[in-house]
Amino acid sequence: MDVLQTKESLAKELTQLKGQGRTIGFVPTMGALHRGHLSLVDCSRRQDDVTVVSIFVNPTQFNRRDDFEQYPRNLTSDLKDLEEAGVQVVFIPGEAEMYPEPDHRTFDFGQLDKVMEGHYRPGHFDGVAKIVSKLFDAVQPHRAYFGEKDFQQLVIIRDLTRQMDYDIEIIGCPIVREPNGLAISSRNKRLSAEQRKQAAQLSRVIFQARQYADRYAIDQLKAWVVAELNKNSEMDVEYFEVVDEATLTSVNAWSDAYYKRACVAAWVGQVRLIDNVKFYF
């Protein structure tokens, strides 16, 4: 496994591999790797000749400096996991490599970045778009893999790829969950053992909501989910929305769209968690 720190060394290696006719799959990460990340690696290894993983904690996508500073980092463990997973190339640039000068670009995603995460984390998706576009320029993969846990991000990255005319296939991979149903996230490491148990209610309730959908109008279901989650003294719901998967606009009636996604964000103590589930009917 080759571990590279500069765009120049990365380009040199990937040019050689592409010259041999090999397809490149790319998994961008911020490290603190878990089974969710490794599932993306597995998806890439099944479809591509070479899998590239980046590890870079991107400062421009954090709204709070303390959140950036507290983001878990464990490079030694991450590299061990990636080598065991069969990754061929790891790109671990420093901040100066990715941002040699301030990046003042802004992106127009229409309504996609104005709702849910975009509403509560203004500027977040501009930061995501900056780093993803930089990484796409550096790696120039054939395919890139993103988890569906960050569903809004996935939709926006697909739009970014279209806007910037990247010849990259964006692959969304299913959410990986802990045995109690909690969506696996690097942020889970900041939960206490008790909070981790309580946080599992997030997935239990939204899956229940899908079962109850034929009994309630959407506004009633949304009110029920928020009330049910807020019964938990450890939890404070930020939003629960049912949206059209393509446009991320709120669905007001079940007949408004066939491909729907229920998305939720909630604080468990000082840790902010998100989750989602498909509503296809």
Tell me the pairing of strands 259-268 and 143-147: unpaired
- If we measure between CA atoms, which residue out of 220, 223, 225 comes closest to residue 206? 225
Q: How far apart are CA 193 and CA 48, in angstroms?
A: 38
Q: What SS3 state is found at 232? A: coil
Name the residue with tokens 């692959």. 171
Catalytic residue among 34, 37, 124, 142: 37
| Residue 114 token pair | 């104005």
| Residue 3 token pair | 């571990």
In sequence order, the 6+-apart residues with CB closer than 8 A to the CB of 24 are: 14, 17, 18, 48, 49, 50, 52, 139, 140, 141, 142, 143
Distances (CA, A) of 188 to 34, 139, 194, 261: 10, 29, 12, 23
Active site residue 37: yes
Contact 8, 31 (CB under 8 A): no
- If we measure between CA atoms, which residue out of 92, 89, 85 comes closest to residue 38? 85
Cite the active site residues.
37
